[in-house]
Structure 1
Amino acid sequence: MEYIRQQRMSLCRRLLLTTPGYRIVDICMMVGYDDLSAFNRTFKKYHALTPTQYRYQITRQK
């Protein structure tokens, strides 16, 4: 199960970088989550940021 979670988070990071027009909830669904709250908790557990904060940080660095 951990491997699947890691793969989902990896895909999520790529999508956050490459699809700025997509909403977080869209990415959540694309990577296999049907609960946005659970997705946000898992993402924050792995990255210490919410997906929105992560995207903001990445786009600021460019």
Structure 2
Amino acid sequence: MKLLNSIKTTAQLSGLGEHTIRKLVRTDPTFPHIKVGETVVKINYKAFSEWLEQVSKEGRSL
């Protein structure tokens, strides 16, 4: 698996929708992502998995 994934790939791997991930990028400052240039967003899947586990433990809604 690549270290950084696109929103589309992250959605496919996680089972979350692309729209949900895009919303998290825009609205949740704790969501692990980086911007490459002005428009490209990449997600470190390991950090994302850890973040998702923490969110689940906290009982937060996405």
TM-score, scaled relative to structure 1: 0.34
**Whose helix proportion is higher, 1 or 2?**
1
Q: Which has the higher strand share?
A: 2
Task: Compare relative contact order (CA 8 Å, sep 6+) and give the higher one, 1 or 2.
Answer: 2
